[in-house]
């Protein structure tokens, strides 16, 4: 039905799955309707075991659904890889599927196509139910009409689906029972040369017990599968809550005999002593038959006499009525009245008008109307000006006024979910407003009309949608003036401007900011900038050389290690005190000191420090 693409959302920096209806199916109204039904069904559901719907839309002939991307594999692939699953693992997977179905059923949605291909297992082991493409609300609309195509996957659908009958919540339970069967055995219960063959087996044949295929399967799992896949819907689990209870208990009591079965199932096999009707001999039967025939003849004669009597009396009455009517028409005649206009008048006033014309008013229907006020007449029959018999009836349709709708509360819901809920309530959704907020992107922050307010049907509701938290832009690498303008354009304020030497950035370029790019803006909405002052200039410092043990002259040589440059070479009289050598540089510089050409020490000078 569709092609699914893996895509990346640049706004939220995450992968999503985009389902697009195949181009060749766009002209097919049934497939388009089914595709839309999937989006509406799934969008109304929010559960950790159901694939989330993020967005739904249409661009030209392209119909698409943006969904949660599940990094993993289908349950079908998982079963094929392992051959069959451990019963405990199968039960845990089944519990998660059952929880998803329980949520869908509580929201009035029957999936109708539960199969391993529609169940996804993430790398973390989370189970998610997908593909609500043929899901429907659990109403009379779930009946598949005879002669129409049966919808569902033939190896997994229920007997009532195969027959084209009423599809209910228990149909999903049957399909889930087949899925559990396949998980613990590695095979489906019914195979055939064609889909019809398999469908007939679902209706007619019994499922082979799973313990006949694998004796190691716990008894409780077999009993659960047998009850979930009962062909008689009255013997099946009545709802997912009952099935969930047994699945959880099976984890604790694998061989327990706690699965209850309908006691009526074997009523014919467990009958107690009964009072039988008496057995009649052959002669008695002939005697009674003759008596019965004679009695029938007597009754037949009595019926004929009664019928002829009734016909005679009826004919006499009809003759008298016709004669009487003819006399009345000849001597008294029948009055006529002209139909007055009552359309557009208040009902009580219209009744007065009709009465004045010797006519009667009868309300045949009441309808909501935006044009006609409440209790005023929308239309009448017969039309004004026609002549009718006196005491005839004027049928009228009366206005119930404008239909009032109670506005639902859609705050904290996804945009598409909110739109569907409002439209289903009879309201119109206007162009949404987008704002930054603490709520996740795509969720409703506010609505233009408060919840539970009564408004006219079709009233427009404007939704305010979250764009997510407001994040700081990137201003590093721009000039100071450009960065300031960008900050103002983004709706923020310029904070402190701090100068800082930089050997990597030219003077006037922003080298750092706070808050940093991509962080959430602070409450004061101010952004501080560090601006380059250019390369750090050389500084002049004095290097002190003290030699207390030397009295008199000694040769001092100072060499800068980085480039072996001799920056000082001279004699000094240490009896006069320490020697001082002026040095220039920036950052940290290492110097070797020699006394009389003998290495004495290594000194490191940090020119960035003030001392």
d(CA 567, CA 293): 147
**Do both 44 and 157 map to the same domain?**
no
**Do both 439 and 497 map to the same domain?**
no
Does residue 100 sit within a domain? yes
The pLDDT value recorded for residue 550 is 82
Picking from 516, 532, 548, the residue at the C-terminal end of a domain is: 532
Taking residue 182's Cβ as centre, other Cβ atoms within 10 Å add up to 22
**Do both 594 and 565 map to the same domain?**
yes
Domain count, the chain: 7
pLDDT at 2 over 90: no
For residue 333, what are its two tokens?
């005649």
**Do both 220 and 86 map to the same domain?**
yes
Work out the pLDDT band at 109, boundaries 50, 70, 90.
confident
**Do both 162 and 206 map to the same domain?**
yes
**DSSP 8-state symbol, 479:** B
Does residue 129 sit within a domain? no
Mean pLDDT across the chain: 83
Taking residue 315's Cβ as centre, other Cβ atoms within 10 Å add up to 10
d(CA 12, CA 8): 9
Picking from 318, 333, 348, the residue at the C-terminal end of a domain is: 333
- For every residue of 540-564, DSSP letters joined together read EEEEEE--TT--SEEEEEEEETTTT
**Do both 413 and 448 map to the same domain?**
yes
Does residue 611 sit within a domain? no
Work out the pLDDT band at 15, boundaries 50, 70, 90.
very high
**Active-site annotation holds for 546:** no
| Cβ pair 223, 259 in contact under 8 A | yes
For residue 150, what are its two tokens?
């049966």
d(CA 462, CA 427): 11
Pairing of strands 565-573, 598-606: unpaired
Max avg pLDDT among 253-267, 273-287, 366-380: 366-380
CA 106 to chain centre: 13
pLDDT at 512 over 50: yes
The residues pairing with 63 across neighbouring beta strands, listed in sequence order, are 58
Work out the pLDDT band at 314, boundaries 50, 70, 90.
low
Does residue 472 sit within a domain? no
d(CA 155, CA 117): 12
> Which runs of consecutive H residues, i.e. helices, occur in 158-237?
159-162, 169-185, 195-204, 210-213, 219-228
What CATH number does the domain containing 597 carry? 2.60.40.10
Max avg pLDDT among 2-16, 118-132, 172-186: 172-186
Catalytic position from the list 61, 86, 113, 596: 113
**Do both 512 and 556 map to the same domain?**
no
Mean pLDDT of 581-603: 90
What CATH number does the domain containing 59 carry? 3.30.200.20
What CATH number does the domain containing 391 carry? 3.30.10.20
Does residue 473 sit within a domain? no
pLDDT tens column, 280-299: 334 444 445 455 555 655 65
Does residue 74 sit within a domain? no
**Do both 518 and 595 map to the same domain?**
no
The pLDDT value recorded for residue 213 is 92
Residues in CB range of 33: below 8 A, 6 or more apart: none
**Do both 99 and 166 map to the same domain?**
yes
The pLDDT value recorded for residue 562 is 87
Does residue 566 sit within a domain? yes
Backbone angles phi, psi at 598, to 5 degrees: -110, 130
The pLDDT value recorded for residue 141 is 33
What CATH number does the domain containing 157 carry? 1.10.510.10
| Cβ pair 534, 572 in contact under 8 A | no
| Cβ pair 72, 121 in contact under 8 A | yes
> Which runs of consecutive H residues, i.e. helices, occur in 465-515?
480-489
Q: Which of 152, 123, 159, 116 is nearest to 135 (CA)?
A: 152
The residues pairing with 579 across neighbouring beta strands, listed in sequence order, are 545
**Do both 39 and 61 map to the same domain?**
yes
Mean pLDDT of 266-275: 37
Residues in CB range of 479: below 8 A, 6 or more apart: 508, 509, 510
Domain that holds residue 24: 2-68
**Do both 245 and 166 map to the same domain?**
yes
Picking from 333, 356, 379, the residue at the C-terminal end of a domain is: 333
pLDDT at 146 over 60: no
| Cβ pair 351, 362 in contact under 8 A | no
pLDDT tens column, 33-57: 777 776 776 777 889 999 988 888 8
pLDDT tens column, 521-559: 877 789 999 999 888 777 788 888 988 888 889 999 999
**Do both 228 and 252 map to the same domain?**
yes
Does residue 134 sit within a domain? no
């Amino acid at each position: 039905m569709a092609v699914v693409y893996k895509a990346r959302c640049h706004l939220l920096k995450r992968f999503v799955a985009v389902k697009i209806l195949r181009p060749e199916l766009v002209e097919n109204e049934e497939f388009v309707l089914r595709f839309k039904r999937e989006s509406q069904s799934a969008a109304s559901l929010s559960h950790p075991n159901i694939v989330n719907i993020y967005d739904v839309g249409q661009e030209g002939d392209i119909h698409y659904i943006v969904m949660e991307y599940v990094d993993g594999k289908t349950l079908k692939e998982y079963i094929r890889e392992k051959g069959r699953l451990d019963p405990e693992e199968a039960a845990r997977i089944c519990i998660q599927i059952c929880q998803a179905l329980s949520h869908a059923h509580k929201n009035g949605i029957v999936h109708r196509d539960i199969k391993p291909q529609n169940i996804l297992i993430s790398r973390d082991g989370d189970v998610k139910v997908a593909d609500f493409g043929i899901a429907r609300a659990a109403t009379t609309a779930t009946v598949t009409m005879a002669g129409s195509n049966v919808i569902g996957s033939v190896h997994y659908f229920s007997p009532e689906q195969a027959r084209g009958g009423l599809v209910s919540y228990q149909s999903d339970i049957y399909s889930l029972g087949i899925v559990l069967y396949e998980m613990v055995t590695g095979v489906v219960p019914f195979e055939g040369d064609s889909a019809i063959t398999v469908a007939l087996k679902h209706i007619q044949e019994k499922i082979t017990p799973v313990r006949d295929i694998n004796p190691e399967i716990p008894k409780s799992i077999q009993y659960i599968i047998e009850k979930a896949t009962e062909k008689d819907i009255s013997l099946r689990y009545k709802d997912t809550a009952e099935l969930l209870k047994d699945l959880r208990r099976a984890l604790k009591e694998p061989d327990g005999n706690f699965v209850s079965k309908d006691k009526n199932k074997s009523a014919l096999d467990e009958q107690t002593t009964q009072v039988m009707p008496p057995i009649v001999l052959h002669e008695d039967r002939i005697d009674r038959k003759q008596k019965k025939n004679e009695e029938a003849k007597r009754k037949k004669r009595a019926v004929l006499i009664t019928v002829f009597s009734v016909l005679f009396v009826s004919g006499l009455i009809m003759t008298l009525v016709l004669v009487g009517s003819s006399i009345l028409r000849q001597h008294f005649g029948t009055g006529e009245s002209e139909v007055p206009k009552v359309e557009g008048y208040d009902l009580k006033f219209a009744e007065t008008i009709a009465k004045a014309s010797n006519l009667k008013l009868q309300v045949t229907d009441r309808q909501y109307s935006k044009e006609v006020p409440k209790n005023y007449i929308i239309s009448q029959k017969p039309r004004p000006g026609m002549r009718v018999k006196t005491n005839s009836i004027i049928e009228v349709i009366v206005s119930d006024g404008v239909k009032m709708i109670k506005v639902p509360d859609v705050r904290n819901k996804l945009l598409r979910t909110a739109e569907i809920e409002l439209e289903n309530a009879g309201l119109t959704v206007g162009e949404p407003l987008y704002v930054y907020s603490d709520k996740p992107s795509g969720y409703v922050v506010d609505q233009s009309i408060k919840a539970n307010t009564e408004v006219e049907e079709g009233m427009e509701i404007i939704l305010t949608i979250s764009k997510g938290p407001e994040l700081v832009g990137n201003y590093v690498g721009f000039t100071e003036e450009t960065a300031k303008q960008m900050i103002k354009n983004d709706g923020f304020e310029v904070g402190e401007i701090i100068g800082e030497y930089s050997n990597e950035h030219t003077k006037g370029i922003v080298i750092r900011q706070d808050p940093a790019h991509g962080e959430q803006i602070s409450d004061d909405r101010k952004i501080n900038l560090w601006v380059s002052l250019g390369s750090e200039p050389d500084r002049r410092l004095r290097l002190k050389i003290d030699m207390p043990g030397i009295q008199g002259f000694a040769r001092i040589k100072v060499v800068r290690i980085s480039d072996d440059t001799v920056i000082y070479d001279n004699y000094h009289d240490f009896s006069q005190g320490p020697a001082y050598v002026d040095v220039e540089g920036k950052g940290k510089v290492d110097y070797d000191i020699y006394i009389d050409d003998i290495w004495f020490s290594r000194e490191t000078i940090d020119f960035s420090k003030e001392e």
